[in-house]
Amino acid sequence: MPKRRQQIQLEPSKGYLLVASYSKAYYDAAIRCAISIRDHHPDARIVLFTHTDFIKDSDRYLFEDVITGIPCHMRAKLWALDKTPFDITLYLDCDTEIWHDDISKIFDLLGDNDIAITNIREYAGKGTNVSKTEKMTHHCGVFLYRKTTTISFMQKWWSDYLIQTARGPWPYPEYESNMRPWDQFTFWRLLKEEFKNIKVSILPDDARWNFIHLYLDSETDKPIVVWHYTIPRGIVDANSIKDTPYSPENFR
């Protein structure tokens, strides 16, 4: 009788995903972010999605791969999410910096969930009321996700966001129309209406994993791991590769 081959459990691949589209300011921020990742997680695997014209050869050492051919779009991250090469991915907005070595431990916080994310603080952001009785709760600037269980969700997030931001009547009259620009709203609506099977958790002590620059110090008593700032809109526009920044055509 032939001996049974012992099955080998492969460790899931884990890595960071950054997306820099639309403005050179986002590319420059992504480089600073990648350097800060390397400072605190030297053997990190990092992938960058960006435009060919943005890339400097001297920056390539920071990344396992640099992927081009992406849409020129303020929310190109939504296009890129399902194309991650990793089993478990930490998506980071470009305008973040890593401040603590605990970043290497974040992948373990996904557990058996599909997505692990942080919560919005209303005092530090735009309006969160999606209707008279409901609020957006998730901040989509930093999150972990499992590729095998979220591919369809990520693809729908992108396609529905394009519908949401297109010219014409507001397609979701049961919700407030001022939600039109926000990808967080698309995320919230899809989880509520179409992807109830997706398991979403909140990262423990979540503020330290996505500390928005407007947060109060009292949000966490532990060292901040991910600092999240905002690039001034004027700088974004001045470095844009579009002639008319923020026009409706540029959201397609």
Asked whether residue 163 is domain-assigned, the answer is yes
Domain that holds residue 122: 14-167+174-247
In terms of Cα–Cα distance, which of 22, 11, 70 is closest to 45? 11
Residue 188 and residue 195 in contact, taking contact as beta carbons nearer than 8 Å:
no
Residue holding tokens 């209406």?
193
Specify the pairing of strand 138-146 against strand 226-228: unpaired
Asked whether residue 6 is domain-assigned, the answer is no
Asked whether residue 217 is domain-assigned, the answer is yes
Tell me, what's the pLDDT at 71? 93
168's CB contacts (< 8 A; 6+ apart) are: none
Q: What is the CATH number of the domain that holds 135?
A: 3.90.550.10
126-176 pLDDT tens trace: 778 999 999 999 999 999 999 999 999 999 999 999 999 999 999 999 999
Span 113-117, average pLDDT: 98
Asked whether residue 4 is domain-assigned, the answer is no
Asked whether residue 9 is domain-assigned, the answer is no
Instruction: Pick from 7-11, 143-147, 244-248 the range whose average pLDDT is largest.
Output: 143-147
Number of domains, the chain: 1
Mark 38-47 as b/e (b = at least 16 C-beta within 10 Å).
Answer: eebbeebbbb
